[in-house]
Chains A and B, each alone.
Chain A
Amino acid sequence: MNFAEIIFLFIIAVTMGGAATAVLAGSVVYAIMGLVVTMFGVAALYVYLNSPFVALMQILIYVGAVTVLIAFAVMLVGPLYRRPKEWTTAGKFGAALGVALVSLLLFVRFVTETFPRAGAPSFEMTTKDIGRLFFDDLVLPFELISLLIVVAILGAIMLALFARGNK
């Protein structure tokens, strides 16, 4: 076991711990912290997968934009200290655990039977290749994404405006 593998195991442990924190934390703020830790861990896993561009985009978009949006929502929806705990009843937790365990077993069976346990082939994917793919084969999805973002921005603005108009 070399040094890179030890770091890899540490990253996996941090990612899983962050995911568990994001689900099981009693307060929303700790859940967001767990989400940030998980996203950094996933970005490090992208680096191990020879995709540094996706790793940087992960940090830029998820950590930089999405979690900040969620943090703003937490700040806008009222005081935290009057909020009850994030947990619901134990029966619901049992149901959630059951559903998730059944799907986990199904997916483990699917994964272990479908994909061969092969080593890594050579993989060199540069940013130039990704850009060429986006502007060559995937032009329509790329433009549709920009259209979707424009529509989402307009929708968010309209939601805020209508809420103010009703009051």
Chain B
Amino acid sequence: MTDFLYNYLHVYLFVALFMLFCGIVGVVYRRTLIGMLVSLELIMNGAGLNLVALNRFVSPENAYGTAFTLIIMGIAAAEAAVALGIIILIFRKYRHIEGGDLREMRD
């Protein structure tokens, strides 16, 4: 029963690791702020997958990892709303959203 592929912890951990890898590449490599935000969402998704997998395989007697993943989802929604407000503000002021050209966030 336990030798199916989806019953191994490492498969899930490596998928989450690949998502973290893609997210790090994207945050450094993208030129617009929206691309960086997409990569950040990728990283947070990988973290949530990691937490649920560890909860299911390492400590199955409580649900703290699952609850923490739900908390991460709420924080990600709030973070996306604030980040998009800031992005639209930057676009109104500078008429572009390229991260490399931003030097200051005053006024």
| Chain A residues packing against B (C-beta within 8 Å) | 1-2, 4-5, 8-9, 12, 15-16, 19-20, 22-23, 28, 31-32, 35, 38-39, 42, 45-46, 48-51, 53-54, 57-58, 61-62, 65-66, 69-70, 72-74, 76-78, 83-84, 86-88, 92-93, 95-97, 99-101, 103-104, 107-108, 111-112, 115, 117-123, 125, 129-130, 133-134, 138, 141-142, 145, 148-149, 151-153, 155-156, 159-160, 163, 166-167
**A120 x B7 contact (CB < 8 A):** yes
Q: How far is the CA of A38 from the CA of B26 in the complex (A)?
A: 14
Q: How far is the CA of A93 from the CA of B89 in the complex (A)?
A: 28
Residues on A with C-beta less than 8 A from B62 are: 133
Q: Measured between C-beta atoms, what is the minimum distance from A27 to chain B in Å?
A: 10
Write the B9-30 contact mask toward A (1 if CB under 8 angstroms, else 0): 1111111011111111110111
**A78 x B5 contact (CB < 8 A):** no
Contacts known (A88-B100, A115-B10); A103 close to B86, Cβ less than 8 A: no
CB contact between B18 and one of A19, A84, A86, A87 (< 8 Å): that residue: A19
Contacts known (A42-B48, A61-B77); A159 close to B89, Cβ less than 8 A: yes
Contacts known (A19-B22, A119-B2); A92 close to B29, Cβ less than 8 A: yes
Determine the main DSSP class of B at the interface with A.
Answer: helix
Residues on A with C-beta less than 8 A from B32 are: 28, 83, 86
**What are 12 A-to-B residue pairs whose CB atoms are below 8 Å?**
A2-B4, A4-B4, A4-B6, A49-B52, A54-B52, A57-B70, A58-B48, A76-B91, A77-B88, A130-B63, A133-B62, A167-B92
* Inter-chain pairs besides A35-B41, A88-B30, A119-B7, 12 sampled, C-beta below 8 Å: A19-B18, A23-B30, A46-B52, A58-B73, A86-B30, A87-B29, A111-B14, A111-B17, A112-B10, A117-B8, A120-B57, A159-B82
Interface residues of B in 47-95 (CB under 8 A from A): 48-49, 52-53, 55-58, 60, 62-64, 66-67, 69-71, 73-82, 84-89, 91-93, 95
Q: Measured between C-beta atoms, what is the minimum distance from B73 to chain A in Å?
A: 5
Residues on A with C-beta less than 8 A from B70 are: 54, 57, 130, 134
**B56 x A49 contact (CB < 8 A):** yes
Q: Measured between C-beta atoms, what is the minimum distance from B83 to chain A in Å?
A: 8
CB contact between A152 and one of B15, B45, B78 (< 8 Å): that residue: B78
